[in-house]
Amino acid sequence: IIQKAKDLKKHRLSLPIYTARDIIIKEVKENACVVIVGETGSGKTTQIPQYLLESGLAAHGTIAITQPRRVAAINLAKRVAEEVGTPIGQKVGYSIRFDDSSSRDSLIKYMTDGIMLRELLSDRLLLRYSVIILDEAHERTLRTDILFGMVKSIQKQRQELIDKGRKDVQPLRIVIMSATLNAEKFSEYFYNAKIMYISGRMYPVKILNTIEPQSDYVDSALVTAFQIHQEEAPGDILIFLTGQEEIENLEKLIEEYAVDLPPSVGKLIPCPIFAAQDSATQQKIFEPAPQGTRKVILATNIAETSITIPNIRYVIDTGCHKSRGYNAKIGIESLLVEPISKSSARQRSGRAGREAPGLCFRLYTEYSFDQLEEDSIPEIKRCNLESAILSLKATGIDDVTGFDFMDRPSKSGMLRSLEHLYALEALDDEGKLTEIGTKMAAFPVDPPYAKVLLQSEKMECTKEAIEIISLLSVDSVFSAPSSKREEANEARQKFVSLDGDHLTLLNTLRAYESVKGDRDWCRENFINSRHMRHVMDVRKQLIQFCERSGMDPKKSCGHDLEIVLKCFLAGFFQNTALLQPDGTYKSIIGGQTVSVHPSSSLFGKKREAIMYNELVFTTKHYIRGVSALESAWLPQAAPKYFGRRQA
Ligand code: ADP
Ligand code: MG
């Protein structure tokens, strides 16, 4: 034990950040806000809280460090508890949803940003904290952005109380930490706070791109890992993947293939890391591989900047991650696999050069790299503004237009969103979150879809609602190659419902399921099987979500499908149009003339009233995802909206 303590001490003294210890303490003591930028692995997250503790800054309250990811919060807290030399939960603790391992006595507390937002509801001034460290600021998640605004305002409020002579209130110190260099924006936002740069150690990393685009990156990651293992010098491999399922698949594949390795080649040991994993397994990624073997770490974005894994010489970058808000269609969270940004790609390759020169295998072409966005776009700019407003309201911030955003949405956009949320019954007359709104805020889809799901519980058609929402999450499940348009059209007639696209989609899904997604069947029927698989994936996630939130995702309306359309209308009453005497459709709000898109099953049909999923403008205002309805359904679907309009 004594040896271990000595080793830990030695490790702490050897970190690049150690040389800046005294100046960091001085700056944080003298300034209300400090921005610290440092290479991943330099010691920011594990050391700075300890330095501040050692300097006496925790005398008037706990030091809090927020993390965007649960795994990181737990893992880092455990490590720091070990370095401090007390069991986890005493001096050093962590708090994540459903797992609180911190106590009143904790002097350092690692927590997810979600938990801090929650704590704000019961402790408006976060009085139990003396220092709040907002870590991984460069990720710019919606939650961190909300926290930025909140802590800034809390700091000011506390100072005002102190100025009025309140002896029981202490000032709040804010530390912003980021792994990327563009920190000016943070500094500006926090009253031109001083930026401290911690220099790290970096060895050169050679980048190798593929010559051809890869159709299956899991497969090419597998091949690349075995190639490295058989041909390259010792050193562990780190593969960036997009999620737990993918990680587990690749783990199995590696285990299968490793059996066939010639005896002269050492073992290749896969080590996955993800949230739902016991901590002993997780600790394995930090332990050196046994002599003559090589570890291959399978990780998500977590290994990009949150957690530094030692001894990595080789990085395999799939070029993808899952990110919230990218699916503009239904706004579903953390489901879509998307290309990363250039700055993420650079962070990933950097992981190979921490201890020696390294190699990074990018499983995409140089051309693809050039096409990537420079930086990832802050979540607040990507996600639906209405979702962001619901999150703010759920945190108890009622004055959203007055909120101090780092990237401010337009005021008119916000007012429009507030009106819409009111019409959806998510907000009451005073703009406060209703019970429906509180539930909607927890849903992983945009508000109108969340409303449909909530309504489906009442109308007993959750199964169908989930299915149709999943189908709407892709561009189209039908493929129509221009050379075979007629054949494709004919094939589609089998699925067409006279009620329109929502039920046509449902018919298509039923047929797809009855043949178990057979690829030949898809080809013959001009169904895009890749999109269909995505639909099934989204459906699975939505089912899981409903189960977790106590809804019954199997509740079905059977053949009474009119119910489903009424249910969708509760979320999409704003997307409705009425047939005019001249045969055109005019939207109920705005009186815009809209044309049914040729891809719709209601193209060329005349129905009294219609509802649509989206409006796209090309040469004219086209509506897609169109279904027929009866105008008598309207007032019932949105009493707030149509009631007020008549008044
Ligand atoms: P930064 O926040 O600047 O990226 P960290 O403070 O997270 O850096 O990490 C500093 C060092 O501590 C790294 O070398 C990392 O490998 C090591 N480290 C962090 N967590 C653990 C752990 N659970 N076990 C062993 N080493 C760890
Ligand atoms: Mg860190």
Rounded distance between C-alpha atoms, residue 369 and residue 371, angstroms: 5
Distance 75 CA to ligand 1 centre (A): 10
- Return the C-alpha torsion angle 71, 76, 79, 83, nearest 10: -170
Distance 82 CA to ligand 1 centre (A): 12
Rounded distance between C-alpha atoms, residue 72 and residue 70, angstroms: 5
Rounded distance between C-alpha atoms, residue 347 and residue 391, angstroms: 29
C-alpha distances in angstroms, 389 versus 326, 375, 400, 418, 450? Answer: 17, 24, 7, 8, 14
Which ligand 1 atom lies nearest to the CA of residue 46? 6
C-alpha distances in angstroms, 367 versus 68, 182, 320, 362, 556? Answer: 31, 25, 15, 12, 48
Residues 251-276, mean pLDDT to the nearest whole number: 88
Rounded distance between C-alpha atoms, residue 337 and residue 217, angstroms: 12
67 lines ligand 1 (CB under 6 A): no
Residues 30-35, mean pLDDT to the nearest whole number: 96
38 lines ligand 1 (CB under 6 A): yes
The residues near 58 (Cβ < 8 Å, ≥ 6 apart) are 52, 107, 108, 130, 131
Beta carbons of 495 and 504 less than 8 angstroms apart: yes
List, for residues 197-253, the tens digit of each pLDDT value: 998 778 999 999 999 999 899 999 999 999 999 999 999 999 999 988 899 999 999
Residue with more model confidence, 641 or 636 = 636
Residue 539 has pLDDT above 50, yes or no: yes
Hey, how many other C-beta atoms are within 10 angstroms of the C-beta on 259? 6
The distance of Cα 138 from the centroid of its chain, to the nearest Å, equals 14
Residue identified by tokens 């993808």 is: 320
Rounded distance between C-alpha atoms, residue 282 and residue 272, angstroms: 8
C-alpha distances in angstroms, 595 versus 396, 478, 611, 614, 627? Answer: 42, 20, 12, 12, 13
75 lines ligand 1 (CB under 6 A): yes
**Atom 25 of ligand 1: nearest residue by CA position:** 286
Instruction: Please tell me the pTM assigned to this model.
Output: 0.80
Rounded distance between C-alpha atoms, residue 441 and residue 436, angstroms: 9
The residues near 431 (Cβ < 8 Å, ≥ 6 apart) are 398, 418, 422
Among 210-214, 320-324, 339-343, 575-579, where is mean pLDDT lowest?
A: 320-324
282 lines ligand 1 (CB under 6 A): no
List, for residues 448-504, the tens digit of each pLDDT value: 999 999 999 999 999 999 999 999 988 889 987 778 888 998 999 999 999 999 999
336 pLDDT band (50/70/90 cuts)?
A: low
- Backbone dihedral angles phi then psi of residue 67, each to the nearest 5 degrees: -135, 140
642 lines ligand 1 (CB under 6 A): no
Residue 527 has pLDDT above 90, yes or no: yes
Tell which one of 44, 197, 308 to mutate to probe ligand 1, the residue whose CB is within 8 A of the most ligand atoms. Answer: 308
Rounded distance between C-alpha atoms, residue 349 and residue 550, angstroms: 42
Query: Which tokens belong to 89?
Result: 């939960």
Listed in sequence order, the DSSP H helices in 288-431 are: 302-305, 342-350, 366-371, 379-382, 385-394, 411-423
Q: Is the ipTM of this complex over 0.90?
A: yes
Distance 307 CA to ligand 1 centre (A): 6
Choose among 465, 463, 491, 464: nearest CA to 477.
491
Which pLDDT value is given to residue 411?
A: 83
Across all residues in the chain, what is the average pLDDT?
A: 90
413 lines ligand 1 (CB under 6 A): no
Which ligand 1 atom lies nearest to the CA of residue 42? 3
List, for residues 344-395, the tens digit of each pLDDT value: 999 999 999 999 999 999 999 999 999 999 988 888 887 778 888 998 898 8
Rounded distance between C-alpha atoms, residue 645 and residue 573, angstroms: 13
Rounded distance between C-alpha atoms, residue 204 and residue 316, angstroms: 16
Which pLDDT value is given to residue 326?
A: 45
143, β-bridge pairs: none
Residues 588-606, mean pLDDT to the nearest whole number: 91
- Would you put residue 64 in left (φ > 0), alpha (ψ -120 to 50) or beta? beta
Residue 334 has pLDDT above 60, yes or no: no
Residue 47 has pLDDT above 90, yes or no: yes
Distance 43 CA to ligand 2 centre (A): 7
25 pLDDT band (50/70/90 cuts)?
A: very high
Which pLDDT value is given to residue 332?
A: 56
